[in-house]
Structure formats: structure tokens, C-alpha cells
């Protein structure tokens, strides 16, 4: 009987807790207090910009003065904005140019370095990871020297074989190839380390069992390792997707003379387009509406990717 | 239920990612290099410390009617050209006159200056007292309400400065900045290349050779045929529209007219672009982008250089010091080409001003500094001798310095050419509150035209339509 009443009381508290978030928070006020730095920072740097830029996206605000609303004027302007759509297209093009290749290469390298047969794997792991922590400005200058159209190293090497110089940084596709080379150089190590961490959780017995059953190492890689790595690869692909639309430092260093846009806006990304409208043109209202359209599109892409990768798991 | 929560969560994370990434300022952007200080001229030019004819209006209009106390306190200064004042000991002399004013110089590149100023103005705190702003960006910051109305202080200087320098400093009859230097455009040319092409390297002869853009093209073709060298740097796919703007300015054309009507796609503008396009077919120019290492290299190279560069007088100090310090005596200065026979051979590119931020706690001291540096002939002339920043202050123009030969330019009397040009610069509507936006779209239009993707008329029409849509200008 006594036990029963206790149950009732607990139920009563449960129900009371369900009545409102306030009660819930009050109940766990100390834990919430201890993690409050996150909420405070999120409110200032996450939630506030989120809400404020949504409001701004309906205004012509330039950074100071009153908010003057122009209804959906900004969103109408986006429909005919060639630069903005070019930037979305560039994000997609860059994604297809480097993400599959980079992810595959990172996986292969991770598997190789995970095997105990490779001598000095720590050394290679460090070397491959090193570019990720190096300075992007310096890297941009080095890649300018490599891809320079007139005196660049690559064109000089092509010259030895009497191949006419390729206008790397002076043509749309040349610029994109040079950019992808820089991205893969800088980000391969990061992705490899993530996948390597994923590999460590996979028991080697699985591949060994497959080998005993007659699979070769390539089959084991594609049929055992890759499927088991799916969540890790999904993480890499989604962050790389967002990364290719969000490129900024890479562009600013490799194409600094044009403010990061590259020849004929060949490499301008949505982030750079938004940045330009906000911080060069001082059109903060228009930039906010671009940011929201961009967010909606990339959100849809991320959901599609989740569905695509998870359909078998579901 | 669970997946929906998850999706919302993913959405929020991405949104925060996107927005917070947008808000991050370009901390690692490095753009135009700062003015570096190496000693330029060994022969100290005779600068007479003439007493300024203008009564320095340091007196605060409301406070004290008879004798105002000298300003005191600390002021902060942002910009990239203060070396011109420090290397000529003008700062020391200022401190002698105003011992109680403490100066803190913060050397930012131009892009960092603008970035930080924009954020400080928007935030309502953190702006400096004095800030250097180029004319190309000035109207934008005036429009942002970031600068102090200094009409009462600058009023006496209005008739003394180059008239066109005030265009961007004024809004609704109020003045927001004090002109520093003007940017008279000339033709810098390599004497050695002209000689190698069996052409005269005498400045007057070169001026005649490049009397118009058509004649300049002929000269360039000759140089290309005789020496294989490119005439000047004029990128196609990465064109920044600066030379096009110089060519518009000399004709008194621009991106809009005096009534604020967009003229980006006017027949005159299209014809101007088509004329410049002739330098690409056949190629007589190099494609290096301005302000990059290969561009510096081809200006500095002893034997593999370009033949010339059309640029404003402030290029002088850059050539002499960090761009082409090793080429002393190899350069000459001639007049720039006219658009057509008999037309104006003068244009403007860039030029700076000093302004006081509206957040300044000590505008009196800030104005004392600006007045001392830019309003006095002695100061302006000392900076000019060191930097080739042609003073916007016209009362300096009869000084003996303007007759001094310049050894870097083959002992040519370059300052007379700067002066001649400065007096003829027409008023043109290129800079303004929307210059950044217009320059961006026009640069893309030039790139499309240059790479054969579009005709000049179509490319400029598309740019003009976009500019009209985004600015709301007719």
C-alpha cells in the first residue's frame, strides 16, 4: 500500500513535470546552471543572430539606422541574382569535383594506415594530417606559385614536355581545379583521421573471417569495411558538403586579388556572396535574405544525404 | 517524432553554422601591402617652412571666442599611410606644437580599416578618433552615419582643395572628411624597354607617342613586335575594372550621372570598354593581376618587364620602394593617353582623406591633428616630397618642390606633370555610396567581354540592370 502511494506520487511529479518546461528546468536547476555557459553563448552568438537576421532579411538595413521593411523585396531580388545562383552552382560543382575523390582517398589511406603491416604509420599519419593545421594564407601563396599561369611550377613542368601552359588561375575551370587541389591537400588528413577513428571500432575479425571465406582484400574493403564505416563516412560527406558551400579562407588566400571570387565568379561560394553583400556593399538586409535561402537549400541537401545513406539502415 | 526532432536539430546546427560563419570577419585577408619606409630621395628637397596663409581654424566655434585652450588627451588613428607622417618627422613636430595630445597609431591595411570601421560603427562602440578613408569608400561610410560632421572646421579649406575631392565628402551640404592627396593619373614607362624598341625615351616624345588610346595601342604593338615585351598589365578573366574607371573618369563619364541615373550601359561607356578591348586582340598586354607577386615582378624585372603602367601619382612611392626599388633611373613619366584626339589627358585613381569618427570622445584633438597634417602647406609638401602623394591643397602648387628633378625617374621633373594633370581632372560619378557594388558588377561584365562570353553592350547592360535592381537607382 505504501509502495503504491509512492508510485502515485512519482506519477504526480511526472505529470507535473510534463505540464511545463519551467517545472522541468526548476527540478534540474543545478545541472542546468552548470552547463549554462553553453546556453548563454548560444543565445548571444547563435539564437540572437538567427532571429535578428531573419527580421533583417525583410529590410533594407545597411548597418545603422532604423529598420525599413520592404516586404519580400529582398527575396524577389534573389530570384534574379545571377551571382547568388552562380555561387550555389559553384558549391555543387566543387562538391562533385572533390568530395567523392577526397572521401575515397581518405578511406583508402585510413585503411592502409590502420593495417599493422605499414611500417611507420604514425609518421605517415602525422605527415598527412599536417596540412590541416598549417596556415591557409601561407598555403594559398604556395598554391599560387604552383598554379601560376606564366611562371608557375606546374606549367613549367608541362613546358618541359612542350605542352602549352594551362591558364589555371585565369580560367573558370582551371581555377576550380586549383582550388580543389588546395582543398584536398588541406582537408584530406582531417577526413582520414576521422575515418581512421571509425576503423578502430571495427573488429578485424570481420575482415579476417571474410578473407577465410575467400574474399580478397579489395572485396573486403568494399563489402565489409565501407558498409561498416557508413556513419563515419556520412559524417565526412555531410561536413564536406557544407564545407564546399562554406569555403572562405581557401578562396581569400588563393584568389585574394579578386576578393575571393576568382575569374568570372568561378569559385564564389554562397558564403562569400553573402559576405560580399554584407561587408563590402553594406546591404545587410539583402545579405540576410540570401543567408536564409542558402540555409534552406543546404538543409534540404543535408536531409537528402541522410536519407540516401541511411535508407538501408532504416 | 524522433526523426522530426532530429531533423530540426540538424537544421538548427547547420543554420548556426551558416550564420556564424557569415558573421566571422575576414581575419586572415591580406591585401594591398603597406607603405614601407625605406629612404627614397637622398637629396632633401628644399621645403620652405612657409607660414600657412590660412588661419588654422583650430578654435572650437562655440567654446571660447578669443583664445581656445590647446586640445589634450589621447586619440587613436586607423589607417595604412601614417608612415608618410612618421618618416618625415611630422608626427614629432606635431607633438612639439601639441605636447598634451597622445597619439596611438593602429596600422591596418585598407581592407582591415574598412572592415573594422564598419563593425565599430554598427556596434556603436570601438571606432577610432581619426580614420583614413579612400575617396572610393568615403561616401559609403558617410552614408553609414559613421563620421562626424566637421563642416565648421573644414569650411575655410573648401576653396583651397581640388574641387572634385569634396564630392564624396559632402552629404546634404555637410562635410565629413578632409582631403589628403589627389590621384592624378600618368603613364609610367620603362625607358629601357622603349629604347630597346628603338623608340625615344624622352618624356615629351613618349607623351606624343601615346597622345590617344589608339596611338598608345600602336606604340604597344611596336614594342611587342620589336622586343616581345608586354605593354602593361591588363587581365582578362580577373579584370578589376580600375583601368576602365580611369578611362571613364578622364571623359567625365561614370557609373551614374549627376542626377543619380545609372549610366553603366550608356553608349559612351560601351564605346570606352570596346576601345580598351583592342589591347587584347592581338594580345599586347600581360594578364597579371594587380597587387600580386608576379605583377610586382614584371614591374621590377631588369630585363623581362612590362613597358608601362597607367596609374596615379601615388604609384611613385610604391615603385621607388617595395615594388621596383631596383629599377631606379629606368622609369619615365609621361602624360596618359586621351580618349580621342584633343580631349582631356587627365584622370583620377584613388586618393585618400582623413575623417573623424562620430564616436570620437576627443574631436578637438583629432581635428588639430588633421589640420596640422593636411591643412598646412609645409606638412603636405614634406609628405609629397617623400611619397608622391600629390597634395589636394592647391596653395602648395607654386612651391619650389614642384621644380625639383626626381632621380628615380631619370632626373625628370615629374611633379610638373602631376600638377598639370591634377588641374585638369574632370568631375566624374564613379565613387559614391554604392561604388563597391557597382565596381563588382562592372568588373564581372568586363571579364565576360574580355573572355568573349558576351559583347561589351550586353555585358554592361546586364550589369546595369542588376545595379538598378539592387540600388533602386533609375
pLDDT band, residue A17 (cuts 50/70/90): low
Interchain pair A137, B291: CB under 8 A: no
What is the distance in angstroms between the Cα of B432 and the nearest Cα belonging to chain A?
A: 11
**Could you tell me if A102 and A232 lie in one domain?**
yes
Cβ <8 Å between A303 and B237: no
pLDDT per residue over A229-241, tens digit each? 888 998 898 889 8
pLDDT of residue B117: 95
Q: What distance in Å separates the CA atoms of residue B100 and residue B70, rounded to the nearest whole number?
A: 8
Where is B178: in which H helix or E strand?
strand B178-179
Which one of B22, B26, B237 has the shortest CB-CB distance to A171? B237
Interchain contact, A291 vs B22, CB within 8 Å: yes
> Minimum mean pLDDT among A3-7, A34-38, A125-129, B84-88: which range?
A3-7
Listed in sequence order, the residues at least 6 apart from B92 whose beta carbon sits closer than 8 Å to its beta carbon are none
Same domain for A138 and A276? yes
Which residues of B fall within a CB distance of 8 Å from A265?
Answer: 444
Are residues A236 and A98 part of one domain? yes
pLDDT by residue (tens digit) across B356-402? Answer: 999 999 999 999 999 999 999 999 999 999 888 999 999 999 899 99
For residues A274 and A291, the answer to whether their CB atoms sit within 8 Å is yes
Over residues A124-128, the mean pLDDT reads 89
Neighbours of B434 (CB within 10 A): 22
Smallest CA-to-CA distance from B348 within B392, B287, B385, B406 is with B392
First to last CA, chain B: 52
Is the domain of A30 the same as that of A113?
Answer: no
Rounded to the nearest angstrom, the minimum Cα separation between A221 and chain B is 30
Of B7, B22, B115, the CB nearest to A271: B22
The single residue listed with the C-alpha cell 540572437 is A48
Of all residues in chain A, the one with the smallest CA distance to B145 is A64
- pLDDT average, residue stretch A273-292: 94
Cβ contacts (< 8 Å) between A235 and chain B: which residues? Answer: none
Q: What is the pLDDT of residue B58?
A: 46
Distance in angstroms between the alpha carbons of the first and the last residue of chain A: 45
pLDDT band at residue B31 using 50, 70 and 90 as cut-offs = very low
Mutate to test the interface with A, among B22, B239, B304 (most CBs of A within 10 A): B22
Q: Which residue of A has its CA nearest to B442?
A: A264
**Are A201 and A286 in the same domain?**
yes
Tell me: do A7 and A130 sit in the same domain. no
Residue B273: per-residue pLDDT: 96
Q: How confident is the model at residue A22 (pLDDT cuts 50, 70, 90)?
A: confident
Set of chain A residues whose Cβ sits within 8 Å of the Cβ of B451: 263-264
Is A10 a member of any domain?
A: yes
How many domains is chain A built from?
2
Residue A17 sits in the same domain as residue A89: no
pLDDT at A12: 61
A122 and A23 in a common domain: no
Q: Using 50, 70 and 90 to split pLDDT, how confident is the model at A307? A: confident
How do residues B143-199 score in pLDDT, each as one tens digit? 999 999 999 999 999 999 998 899 999 999 999 999 999 999 999 999 999 999 999
- Report pLDDT for A19: 63
Cα B405 versus chain centre, distance: 24
> Would residue A261 count as lying in a domain?
yes
**pLDDT tier at B230, thresholds 50, 70, 90:** very high
> What ipTM is given for this predicted complex?
0.84
Whether A41 and A106 share a structural domain? no
CATH number for A188: 1.10.3720.10
Identify the pLDDT of residue A79.
93
Report the percent of chain B where pLDDT is more than 70.
86
A68 lies in some domain: no
* Boundary residue ending a domain (A56, A71, A95): A56
pLDDT at B65 over 80: no
Q: What is the pLDDT averaged over residues B303-309?
A: 90
B145 contacts in chain A (CB < 8 Å) = 64-65
Using the predicted structure, report yes or no on whether residue B204 has a pLDDT greater than 60: yes
In a domain, residue A69? The reply is: no
Contact A282 B144 (CB under 8 A): yes
Q: Are residues A281 and A159 in the same domain?
A: yes
Chain A positions touching B305 (Cβ under 8 A) are none
- Whether the per-residue pLDDT at B265 is higher than 90: the answer is yes
Smallest CA–CA distance, residue B253 to chain A, in Å, is: 22
Half-sphere exposure (Cβ direction) of B464: Cα atoms closer than 13 Å: 19
Q: What is the DSSP letter of B393?
A: B
User: A32 is in which domain, residue-wise?
Assistant: 2-56
- Mean pLDDT, chain B, rounded, equals 86
Asked whether residue B246 carries a pLDDT value surpassing 60, the answer given is yes
Is residue A298 domain-resident?
yes
Supply the pLDDT for residue B40: 38
A100/chain B closest Cα distance in angstroms: 21
pLDDT at B21 over 60: no
Q: What share of chain B is helix, strand, coil (3-state, %, to 5)?
A: 45, 15, 40
The pLDDT of residue B269 is above 60 = yes
Residue A299 has its nearest CB partner, among B11, B122, B470, at B11
Q: A132 and A278: one domain?
A: yes
If you average pLDDT over each of A204-218, A236-250, B5-19, which comes out highest?
Answer: A236-250
Pair B284, B222: CB distance under 8 Å: no
Structural domain includes residue A67? no
State the Cα–Cα distance between residues B17 and A302, nearest whole angstrom.
13
pLDDT for the residue B67: 57
Among B11, B115, B121, the residue with its CB nearest the CB of A64 is B121
Asked if A46 and B289 come within 8 Å (Cβ–Cβ), the reply is no
Task: Give A265's contacts (C-beta < 8 A, 6+ positions apart).
Answer: A83, A86, A87, A90, B444
Contact across the interface for B240 and A258, Cβ inside 8 Å:
yes
Interface mutation vs chain A, best among B16, B18, B140, B290, most A CBs within 10 Å:
B18
Residue A16, pLDDT score: 59
A291: chain B residues, CB-CB within 8 Å = 18-19, 22
Q: List all residues 6 or more positions away from B451 whose beta carbon is below 8 Å from its beta carbon.
A: A263, A264, B236, B237
| A277 in the same domain as A183 | yes
Amino acid at each position: 500500500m505504501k509502495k503504491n502511494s509512492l508510485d502515485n506520487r512519482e506519477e504526480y511529479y511526472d505529470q507535473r513535470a510534463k505540464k511545463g518546461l519551467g517545472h522541468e528546468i526548476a527540478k534540474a536547476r543545478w545541472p542546468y546552471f552548470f552547463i549554462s555557459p553553453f546556453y548563454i553563448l548560444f543565445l548571444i552568438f547563435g539564437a540572437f543572430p538567427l532571429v535578428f537576421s531573419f527580421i533583417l532579411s525583410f529590410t533594407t538595413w545597411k548597418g545603422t539606422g532604423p529598420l525599413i521593411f520592404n516586404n519580400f523585396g529582398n527575396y524577389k531580388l534573389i530570384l534574379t541574382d545571377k551571382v547568388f545562383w552562380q555561387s550555389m552552382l559553384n558549391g555543387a560543382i566543387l562538391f562533385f569535383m572533390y568530395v567523392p575523390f577526397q572521401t575515397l582517398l581518405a578511406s583508402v589511406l585510413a585503411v592502409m594506415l590502420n593495417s599493422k603491416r605499414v611500417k611507420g604509420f604514425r609518421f605517415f599519419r602525422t605527415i598527412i594530417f599536417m596540412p590541416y593545421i598549417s596556415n591557409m594564407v601561407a598555403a594559398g601563396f604556395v598554391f599560387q606559385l604552383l598554379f601560376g599561369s606564366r611562371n608557375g611550377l606546374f606549367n613549367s613542368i608541362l613546358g618541359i614536355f612542350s605542352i602549352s601552359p594551362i591558364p589555371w588561375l585565369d580560367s573558370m575551370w582551371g581555377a576550380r581545379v586549383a582550388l580543389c587541389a588546395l582543398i584536398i591537400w588541406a582537408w584530406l588528413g582531417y577526413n582520414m583521421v576521422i575515418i581512421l577513428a571509425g576503423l578502430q571500432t571495427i573488429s578485424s575479425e570481420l575482415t579476417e573471417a571474410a578473407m577465410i571465406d575467400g574474399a580478397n582484400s579489395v572485396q573486403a574493403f568494399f563489402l565489409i569495411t565501407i558498409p561498416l564505416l557508413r556513419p563515419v563516412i556520412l559524417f565526412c560527406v555531410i561536413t564536406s558538403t557544407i564545407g564546399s558551400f562554406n569555403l572562405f579562407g581557401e578562396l581569400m588566400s588563393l584568389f585574394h586579388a579578386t576578393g575571393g571570387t576568382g575569374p568570372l565568379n568561378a569559385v564564389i561560394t554562397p558564403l562569400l556572396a553573402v559576405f560580399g553583400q554584407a561587408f563590402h556593399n553594406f546591404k545587410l538586409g539583402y545579405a540576410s535574405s540570401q543567408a536564409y535561402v542558402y540555409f534552406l537549400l543546404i538543409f534540404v541537401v543535408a536531409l537528402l544525404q541522410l536519407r540516401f545513406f541511411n535508407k538501408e539502415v532504416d | 517524432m524522433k526523426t522530426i526532432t532530429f531533423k530540426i536539430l540538424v537544421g538548427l546546427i547547420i543554420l548556426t553554422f551558416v550564420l556564424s560563419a557569415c558573421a566571422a570577419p575576414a581575419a586572415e585577408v591580406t591585401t594591398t601591402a603597406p607603405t614601407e619606409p625605406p629612404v627614397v630621395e637622398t637629396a632633401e628637397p628644399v621645403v620652405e617652412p612657409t607660414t600657412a596663409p590660412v588661419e588654422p581654424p583650430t578654435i572650437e566655434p562655440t567654446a571660447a571666442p578669443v583664445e581656445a585652450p590647446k586640445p589634450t588627451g589621447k586619440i587613436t588613428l586607423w589607417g595604412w599611410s601614417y608612415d608618410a607622417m612618421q618618416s618625415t618627422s611630422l608626427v614629432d613636430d606635431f607633438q612639439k606644437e601639441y605636447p598634451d595630445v597622445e597619439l596611438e597609431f593602429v596600422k591596418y591595411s585598407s581592407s582591415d580599416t574598412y572592415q573594422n570601421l564598419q563593425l565599430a560603427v554598427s556596434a556603436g562602440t570601438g571606432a577610432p578618433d581619426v580614420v583614413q578613408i579612400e575617396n572610393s569608400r568615403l561616401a559609403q561610410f558617410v552614408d553609414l552615419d559613421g563620421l562626424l560632421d566637421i563642416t565648421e572646421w573644414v569650411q575655410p579649406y573648401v576653396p583651397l582643395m581640388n574641387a572634385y575631392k569634396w564630392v564624396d565628402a559632402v552629404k546634404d551640404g555637410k562635410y565629413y572628411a578632409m582631403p589628403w592627396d589627389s590621384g592624378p593619373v600618368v603613364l609610367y614607362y620603362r625607358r629601357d624597354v622603349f629604347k630597346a624598341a628603338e623608340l625615344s625615351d624622352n618624356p615629351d616624345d613618349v607623351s606624343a607617342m601615346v597622345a590617344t588610346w589608339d596611338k598608345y595601342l600602336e606604340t604597344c604593338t611596336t614594342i611587342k613586335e620589336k622586343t616581345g615585351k608586354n605593354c602593361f598589365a591588363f587581365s582578362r578573366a580577373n579584370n578589376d575594372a580600375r583601368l576602365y574607371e580611369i578611362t571613364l573618369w578622364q571623359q567625365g563619364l561614370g557609373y551614374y550621372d549627376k542626377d543619380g541615373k545609372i549610366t553603366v550601359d550608356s553608349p559612351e561607356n560601351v564605346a570606352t570598354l570596346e576601345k580598351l578591348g583592342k589591347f587584347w586582340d592581338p594580345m599586347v598586354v600581360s594578364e597579371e593581376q594587380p597587387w600580386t607577386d608576379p605583377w610586382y615582378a614584371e614591374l621590377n624585372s631588369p630585363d623581362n618587364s612590362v613597358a608601362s603602367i597607367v596609374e596615379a601619382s601615388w604609384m611613385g612611392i610604391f615603385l621607388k620602394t617595395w615594388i621596383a626599388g631596383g629599377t631606379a633611373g629606368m622609369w619615365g613619366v609621361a602624360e596618359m593617353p586621351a580618349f580621342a584626339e584633343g580631349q582631356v589627358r587627365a584622370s583620377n585613381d584613388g586618393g585618400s582623406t582623413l575623417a573623424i569618427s562620430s564616436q570620437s570622445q576627443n574631436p578637438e584633438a583629432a581635428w588639430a591633428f588633421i589640420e596640422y597634417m593636411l591643412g598646412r602647406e609645409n606638412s603636405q609638401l614634406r609628405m609629397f616630397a617623400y611619397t608622391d602623394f600629390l597634395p589636394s591643397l592647391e596653395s602648395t602648387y607654386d612651391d619650389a618642390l614642384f621644380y625639383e628633378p626626381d632621380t628615380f625617374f631619370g632626373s625628370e621633373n615629374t611633379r610638373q606633370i602631376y600638377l598639370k594633370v591634377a588641374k585638369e581632372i574632370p568631375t566624374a560619378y564613379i565613387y559614391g555610396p554604392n561604388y563597391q557594388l557597382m565596381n563588382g558588377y562592372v568588373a564581372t561584365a568586363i571579364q565576360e567581354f574580355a573572355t568573349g562570353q558576351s559583347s561589351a553592350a550586353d555585358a554592361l547592360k546586364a550589369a546595369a540592370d542588376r545595379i538598378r535592381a539592387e540600388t533602386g537607382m533609375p
